[in-house]
A and B are shown apart, each in its own frame.
Chain A
Amino acid sequence: MSFLPEVELGDQFQAFAAFGEDLGFVPNLVRAQSLLPRVIEAQAVLEKGVRLSQGPLSRAQTERILLCVAAIRGDVYCAGLARTALRHVGEPHRQIEGLLEDHSCVDLPAAEIALLDFSLKLSADSLSISSLDIERLRQHGFDDESIIETAVTTALAIYRCTLSVGLRPEPDREAPKLRPGREVSVSGVLADRSASRSGHETSYVRAPYLSPETFAPFATLIRTHGFIPNFFRAQTLRPDLLSAEAELTSLVLLPEDVLTRSQKEAVLLAVSAANLNSYCVAVHCNLLRGLGVSAEEGDQIAVDHHGSSLSEADKALLDFAIRLGSKFSEFSRDDVVRLRALGFTDPQILETVVVTALNNFANVLQKGLGIEHDFDPPLAFEQKKVHLQTFPDRPIARRSATYPVIEPGYDPDTELVTEARAGSLEAFEELVRRHSRLVYRALAAMLGNQDQAQDAMQDVMLSAYQHIASFQARSKFSTWLVSIARNRAIEYLRKRGKEVSLDEPTPGEDSDFRPRELRDWVDNPEQAYSRTEIQKLIEKGIMALPAKYRTVVMLRDIEHLEIEEIARQLGLSIPAVKARLLRGRLMLREWLAPHFAAGARRATQ
């Protein structure tokens, strides 16, 4: 008896029919999701997209990956399911039994073994994958399209295994015997793992440009996510797989008939954090922010959800998901019983299992393709990761390897902050001296007045001193200082009876601006104006911008801060910062054009 009850959907249910046609029967893993037909449709789309694709991998290659990943994970159900499918495509009995035992001892060409090696390493320890593993596949003749297909197939194997742990279906046929306690030998070099942390490496495979105007899944993503995550952009060589994944994501995440979107995003964030996947942590922090959850709360869920302000029930939901997604060997029926006792319904529990499976799918695929970051992950999360050098039970943890220390996001102020908190005025003085220019510029931009900025600086510094005990180092000290400046600026503006316009824009507000002045500029405007004249023009132009654009342009182009840092300082989403920056730059450009455009008269100041 599986963990959750089933309802009769009838074999006419389209997704059931698809499985029946493909395998000759409807797997119990699929029937176990009958409380929520749309998640069955989601799995059917994924399975069809991956297993029946017309891509370079053969059906036997795909099924072997599904078999070997399940076997190494000790997942009897999924190994049995893949064994049936392999028999279905004519794989000899002895070969299947050999693969269940140890793929490296089976009489297969070296390239086939290399492919399985890669999949097993990716599924067992996704963080250890590096460009060298990809290089090895290329040496065996696999091209980018096959590499994507291999990574997606491995991710599907993990999707299935996560469902199987969470739902515990009865075997469809006679269960295979798996050798207990097998280890995945993780070979290869771990050296560039630290590189995969930073947000600026490029993904392992080529990714030609696809336009959202012609490629419908991208248009959908813009609607549902507000942007096209690199996760999808990186797979444009295989639009077929990409479409299936986008549809899977929509079917699982968008409807709010069972769990809310925020609950689902919190599950994705917490399990990605438990799996130490910085890419997914950063994406889900950002999406949660878009759903109205503060940056601090998102960071806290990533670091330790128990310290967040989620309800006790939702915290238990995340405990459940983390055990399933990251410590699956501990997961049992008791976890399901506990959630029921807290009032969760069976469809809610089922959806949590499916969302966790989707999460693990994404975590594995992201690492397999080395997909580059959309956003920087929270600093506090990166710092926490450093302390987790040995991971006792990530997806398949029956292995041992030494992990390199991952360098944390680093705040050069940490020591001074510690001293200042202990009461050292000298340390505090050094801190404000370091950041006085940043504070001044932030205030000047937000207030739109340089004299008032000077006056407000004192207040900000005094306020920082008064509250330094409450600074929790979840952000950089400079970020915290700017947030104080922001609060002060808002107070000042209110006192002056001005409308406060530093807040999040309404959707579309920043995207409808189009430049009008399209004349070429003279080649060397700096020859026509002195440095001081240009500086004055720039200051005047920036002060003429609306406050919200002015602040972002100031922090990015004058103070040279990273977009992610600005987003944290101003409590904005990254897309919002980007939109404001673009618009601010374009407005400033328009303002400067009369001075610099070809044929323009040299204006006097």
Chain B
Amino acid sequence: MITCDEFFAEFCNYFDGRVSLEVRDELELHLSQCRACHALYDSTSKTVKFVTESGSFELPENVTESIIGEVMAKLRTGKT
């Protein structure tokens, strides 16, 4: 079986689904047998899930519109 260090080395690729099937099998075998790596994997998955689904850093539409409006006004009047 692979070691925790080897698991950690492939961690990022595994997350992004960028490992071959063979490597994935190895990593998943390790995950099923190592509690610490499993906890790390599970909590990182949750972190990434929260971040990707959070819709964070959304600029309110009126703010976007006012910024674009100002920019376009400057460009139309040639005051850049």
Contact = CB atoms under 8 A, between A and B. Distances in A.
A533 B3 CA distance: 37
A582 B11 contact: yes
A441 B55 CA distance: 11
B57 A582 contact: no
Q: Is the interface of B mostly helix, strand, loop or mixed?
A: helix
Given A425-B76, A462-B74, A208 B22 contact: yes
The interface centre, meaning the residue of A450, A554, A578 with most chain B CB atoms within 10 A of its CB, is: A578
A501 to B, nearest CB: 20
8 contacts: A211-B6, A432-B71, A457-B67, A458-B71, A525-B46, A554-B57, A558-B51, A592-B50
B40 A581 contact: no
Q: Is the interface of A mostly helix, strand, loop or mixed?
A: helix
Interface string A249-285: 0000000000000000000000000000000000000
Interface stretch (A64-72, A133-141, A153-161, A583-591): A583-591
A489 interface: no
A372 B19 CA distance: 10
A542 B48 CA distance: 12
B46 A596 contact: yes
B51 A557 contact: yes
Given A462-B80, A465-B75, A535-B55, A209 B70 contact: no
Interface residues of B, number: 44
Interface stretch (A119-127, A331-339, A384-392, A513-521): A513-521
A534 B75 contact: no
A454 B63 contact: yes
Interface of A: 202-203, 206-209, 211, 213, 233, 372, 425, 428-429, 432-433, 436-437, 440-441, 444, 450, 454, 457-458, 461-462, 465-466, 514-515, 517-521, 525-526, 531, 534-535, 538-539, 542, 553-554, 557-558, 560, 563, 578-579, 581-582, 585-586, 588-589, 592-593, 596-597
A425 B72 contact: yes
B32 interface: no
B2 A209 contact: yes
Contacts of A425: 72, 75-76
Contacts of A437: 58-59, 64
The interface centre, meaning the residue of A425, A437, A518 with most chain B CB atoms within 10 A of its CB, is: A518
B8 to A, nearest CB: 8
A576 to B, nearest CB: 12
What are the 4 closest A-B residue pairs judged by CB atoms, nearest first? A582-B12, A589-B47, A557-B51, A209-B26
A436 B3 contact: no
Nearest to B4: A514
The interface centre, meaning the residue of B5, B13, B51, B54 with most chain A CB atoms within 10 A of its CB, is: B51
A43 B36 CA distance: 47
Contacts of A517: 43
A571 B29 CA distance: 36
A61 to B, nearest CB: 27
Contact of A560 (B12, B13, B52, B76): B52
Nearest to A230: B20
Given A209-B2, A213-B3, A437-B59, A585 B48 contact: yes
B47 A462 contact: no
Given A211-B2, A425-B76, 16 more contacts: A202-B20, A209-B23, A211-B3, A429-B72, A433-B68, A454-B63, A462-B75, A465-B71, A520-B42, A521-B46, A539-B57, A554-B57, A557-B48, A558-B52, A558-B56, A560-B52
Contacts of A596: 43, 46
B55 to A, nearest CB: 7
Nearest to A203: B20
Contacts of B72: 425, 429
Contacts of A553: 51
Contacts of A462: 71, 74-75, 80
A595 B60 CA distance: 27
A566 B63 CA distance: 26
A286 B74 CA distance: 40
A557 B26 contact: no
Given A202-B20, A428-B75, A466-B80, A521 B43 contact: yes
Contacts of B16: 563
The interface centre, meaning the residue of A458, A514, A589 with most chain B CB atoms within 10 A of its CB, is: A589
